[in-house]
């Protein structure tokens, strides 16, 4: 089907087919659902008006880009979405020439668009190419967006920004009026009138400028675009993001303006699948589910680490009114929804603003409160300077609780929580520790709540690896726990969920190893490590983290400082590569990290 020559009726039928295919595949594989269903007409209109081979199509986060994938030659492969060795759930240039940039984190799109527009200007290609950005209203809560808009409004590079606003449905009376006004504001007549009026009033001084400006603003008050216009960016909208003829007309006119334009489109989340329509957060990202009932296909009965965290923190809050906390647009994902509901004056969702989350919690710590800053490992990367400059420099007692540490599965490279140990361990005044199971998690949080310095603890997506090891002891600063002692030369050192993997591997070796739960990677339990060095000469490190700067590195640094030269250390952490998407077990198998593979490596290395 040639989208450029298709009729409106054919394109509307195409939108229906796209929605059906997305629903079919996501119900089977899991993925992002409500936002990508809602963006279908927007993406079809983009492809009708622009050319994704030459015009940079930039999707913010890109979780809403499934229709784009289907329209760019990936329909036959779409069954492999988010599967190991299959299509990514996000845009990925190595997957298709139609994907301009890797995405997965929020609020980068307008900066990318500005950079692309600069390159187009330098190449003299303004008449041939234009960046087209799609960004959701949620992503507009991050400061990086306004840094980019600030420059764009000043430089005036041609660029189309489609603001996909899915926070409300279209109100028909207002929608009809705004569609009429938006079409008028985008028309050549209005733009020429505006230009000629500006030239005319230049001859009549400040009073005429003031009157003309007030008249223009009174017209614009019908729409919420004044802020963008004041920044120097033309605004069109709001328009119905499901009205295909209107979208195509407006985008064509915006393209012809040859200036930065924001097209504000209102869409309905989950459009086309009634159960997901509206503000049901659970339909944003889903696992496999039954289309007819909407019920999840996941039958796991194990309690997730996130659930354990939420329960433990809620219990601590009941005992200590000084405990407060924040998350960055992930209240349900981090387990804070219940705390925000029960303690709305003590827990906050600050939107997609990790930098603000960290610094605001630092100020609360300065005022005598005990903040728990709860953020996915991969998203804490966005607040790194604030951790150093605003928290650790003053040694403030903020707790960083890092959800989804380790491999996160189908979300892939942009979301794997593998770097937090490496980038946090380098910071002075930072203490790092990790629980290994439910009881130790409660104990770790109890320690964190009473600790008067900056600290961070990490925990996995899903459940902890179950073990049959001795019960956890209360946490003490820089104290590990020896879980199993054996006379063999082999010591398994586990950190966090790595303890479970060490245990599984030991079971395959007939338990002929000692197992140490390291607990603290900064500071290390120097006394215990000296004792282990005297008894065991072959150490194997298990941790769901990057090898460079990780747990094994910390142990090697200790051995070097202590001048202990007769201990051999092998780390089973992740190598220096970005880790692909797919089922977690399949990804771990590809990395050689399943217990059976690890047991074989241990035997080979020992022999």
User: Helical H runs in 468-583?
Assistant: 498-508, 526-535, 551-561
106 annotated as ligand-binding: yes
What distance in Å separates the CA atoms of residue 5 and residue 1, rounded to the nearest whole number?
9
* Mean pLDDT calculated for residue range 28-43: 94
Would the pLDDT of 397 be above 90? yes
Please report the pLDDT score of residue 170 as a whole number.
Answer: 37
> Which is nearest to 370 in space by CA: 331, 298, 295, 320?
320
Would the pLDDT of 211 be above 80? no
27 annotated as ligand-binding: no
Would the pLDDT of 394 be above 70? yes
Please report the pLDDT score of residue 221 as a whole number.
Answer: 45
* Mean pLDDT calculated for residue range 528-557: 98
* Mean pLDDT calculated for residue range 570-576: 98
Would the pLDDT of 200 be above 60? no
What distance in Å separates the CA atoms of residue 193 and residue 206, rounded to the nearest whole number?
19
What confidence tier does 172 reach under pLDDT thresholds 50, 70, 90? very low
273 annotated as ligand-binding: yes
Give this prediction's pTM.
0.90
What distance in Å separates the CA atoms of residue 172 and residue 547, rounded to the nearest whole number?
56
* Mean pLDDT calculated for residue range 391-396: 98
What confidence tier does 177 reach under pLDDT thresholds 50, 70, 90? very low
What confidence tier does 119 reach under pLDDT thresholds 50, 70, 90? very high
What distance in Å separates the CA atoms of residue 571 and residue 592, rounded to the nearest whole number?
12
* Mean pLDDT calculated for residue range 151-176: 76
104 annotated as ligand-binding: yes
137 annotated as ligand-binding: yes
Would the pLDDT of 217 be above 60? no
**Residues 6 or more apart from 374 whose CB is under 8 A from it?**
309, 325, 326, 327, 330, 334, 335, 336, 401, 403
The answer to whether residues 95 and 68 touch, using CB atoms and an 8 Å cutoff, is: no
Mean pLDDT across the chain: 91
More confident residue, 301 or 183: 301
What confidence tier does 182 reach under pLDDT thresholds 50, 70, 90? low
497 annotated as ligand-binding: no
Q: Where are the domains of the chain?
A: 8-283
* Mean pLDDT calculated for residue range 298-307: 87
What confidence tier does 171 reach under pLDDT thresholds 50, 70, 90? very low
What confidence tier does 227 reach under pLDDT thresholds 50, 70, 90? confident
63 annotated as ligand-binding: yes
94 annotated as ligand-binding: no
At 442-480, the pLDDT tens digits run: 999 999 999 999 999 999 999 999 999 999 999 999 999
Window from 5-14, 205-214, 365-374 with minimum mean pLDDT: 205-214
Would the pLDDT of 399 be above 70? yes
Would the pLDDT of 226 be above 90? no
* Mean pLDDT calculated for residue range 534-539: 97
> Which is nearest to 275 in space by CA: 61, 27, 12, 15?
27
Superfamily of domain 8-283, CATH level 4: Thiamin diphosphate (ThDP)-binding fold, Pyr/PP domains (3.40.50.970)
DSSP bridge partners of 400 = 373, 456
**Residues forming the active site:** 269, 354, 382
Please report the pLDDT score of residue 451 as a whole number.
Answer: 98
412 annotated as ligand-binding: no
Strand order across the beta sheet in which 132-136 lies? 57-59, 132-136, 159-165, 260-266, 234-240
Helix (H, G, I), strand (E, B) or coil at 493: strand
Please report the pLDDT score of residue 607 as a whole number.
Answer: 80
Q: Which two tokens stand for residue 353?
A: 């603003």
At 407-432, the pLDDT tens digits run: 999 999 999 999 999 999 999 999 99
Would the pLDDT of 176 be above 60? no
What confidence tier does 206 reach under pLDDT thresholds 50, 70, 90? low
At 77-116, the pLDDT tens digits run: 999 999 999 999 999 999 999 999 999 999 999 999 999 9
What distance in Å separates the CA atoms of residue 455 and residue 592, rounded to the nearest whole number?
31
Between strands 159-165 and 481-484, the pairing is: unpaired
């Amino acid at each position: 089907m040639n989208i450029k020559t298709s009729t409106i009726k054919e394109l509307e039928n195409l939108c229906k087919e796209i929605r059906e295919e997305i629903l079919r595949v996501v119900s089977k594989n899991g993925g992002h659902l409500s936002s990508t269903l809602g963006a279908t007409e927007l993406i079809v209109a983009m492809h009708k008006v622009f050319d994704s081979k030459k015009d940079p199509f930039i999707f913010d986060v890109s979780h809403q880009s499934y229709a784009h994938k289907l329209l760019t030659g990936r329909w036959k492969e779409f069954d492999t979405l988010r599967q190991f060795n299959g299509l990514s759930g996000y845009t990925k240039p190595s997957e298709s020439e139609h994907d301009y940039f890797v995405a997965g984190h929020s609020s980068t799109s307008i900066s990318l668009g500005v950079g692309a527009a600069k390159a187009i200007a330098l190449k003299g290609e303004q008449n041939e190419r234009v960046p087209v950005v799609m960004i959701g209203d949620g992503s507009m809560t991050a400061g990086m967006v306004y840094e980019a808009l600030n420059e764009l409004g000043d430089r005036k590079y041609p660029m189309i920004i489609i603001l996909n606003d899915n926070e409300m449905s279209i109100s028909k009376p207002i929608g009809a009026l705004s569609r009429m006004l938006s079409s008028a504001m985008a028309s050549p007549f209005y733009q020429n009138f505006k230009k000629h009026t500006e030239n005319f009033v230049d001859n009549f001084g400040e009073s005429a400028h003031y009157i003309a400006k007030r008249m223009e603003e009174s017209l614009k008050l019908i729409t919420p675009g004044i802020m963008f216009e004041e920044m120097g960016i033309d605004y069109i909208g709001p328009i119905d993001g499901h009205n295909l003829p209107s979208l195509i007309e407006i985008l064509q006119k915006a393209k012809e303006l040859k200036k930065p334009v924001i097209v504000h489109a209102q869409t309905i989340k989950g459009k086309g699948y009634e159960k997901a329509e509206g503000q049901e957060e659970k339909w944003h990202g889903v696992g496999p589910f039954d289309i007819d009932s909407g019920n999840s296909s996941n039958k796991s009965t194990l309690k997730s680490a996130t659930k354990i965290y939420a329960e433990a923190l809620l219990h601590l809050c009941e005992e200590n009114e000084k405990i407060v906390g924040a998350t960055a647009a992930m209240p349900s994902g981090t387990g804070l929804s219940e705390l925000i509901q029960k303690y709305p004056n003590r827990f906050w969702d600050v939107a997609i603003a990790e930098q603000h989350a960290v610094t605001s919690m630092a100020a609360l710590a300065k005022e005598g409160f005990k903040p728990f800053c709860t953020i996915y490992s991969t998203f804490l990367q966005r607040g790194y300077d604030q951790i150093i400059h605003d928290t650790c420099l003053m040694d403030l007692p903020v707790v960083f609780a890092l959800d989804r540490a380790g491999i996160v599965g189908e979300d892939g490279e942009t979301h794997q929580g593998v770097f937090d140990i490496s980038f946090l361990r380098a910071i002075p005044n930072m203490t790092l520790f990790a629980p290994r199971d439910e009881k130790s998690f409660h104990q770790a949080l109890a320690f964190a709540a009473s600790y008067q310095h900056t600290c961070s603890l990490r925990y996995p997506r899903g459940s902890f690896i179950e073990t049959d090891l001795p019960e956890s002891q209360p946490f003490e600063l820089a104290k590990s726990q020896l879980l199993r002692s054996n006379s063999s030369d082999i010591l398994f050192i586990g950190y966090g969920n790595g303890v479970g993997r060490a245990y599984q591997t030991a079971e395959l070796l007939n338990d002929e190893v000692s197992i140490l739960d390291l607990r603290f990677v900064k500071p290390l339990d120097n006394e215990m490590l000296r004792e282990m060095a005297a008894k065991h000469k072959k150490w194997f490190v298990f941790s769901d983290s990057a090898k460079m700067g990780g747990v094994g590195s910390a142990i090697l640094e200790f051995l070097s400082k202590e001048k202990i030269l007769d201990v051999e250390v092998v780390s089973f952490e992740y190598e220096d590569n970005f880790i692909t998407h797919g089922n977690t077990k399949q990804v771990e198998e590809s990395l050689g990290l399943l217990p059976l593979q690890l047991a074989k490596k241990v035997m080979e290395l020992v022999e």
